[in-house]
Amino acid sequence: MSRYQDLSVHMSSLAIDEEENVALVIEGNVDEESNKYELCAVGRFLTEKTVNVRAMKSKMANVWKPAMGVNIKELETGIFLFQSYHKEDLNWVLNGGPWSFDNVMLILDSISQGEEPLSPPLWHLKIWIQIHVYQQGICRSL
24 pLDDT higher than 60: no
Topology of domain 34-142, per CATH? Alpha-Beta Plaits (3.30.70)
For residue 70, what pLDDT is reported? 87
* Count of alpha carbons within 13 angstroms of residue 26, beta-carbon side: 4
What pLDDT is stored for residue 36 in this prediction? 67
Closest alpha carbon to 90 in 125, 50, 42, 135: 42
**pLDDT score recorded for residue 48:** 86
28 or 106: which leads in pLDDT: 106
Which parts of the chain fold into alpha helices (H)? 3-12, 32-35, 53-64, 87-95
Percent of the chain with pLDDT over 90: 3
Give residue 117's identity as a one-letter amino acid code: P
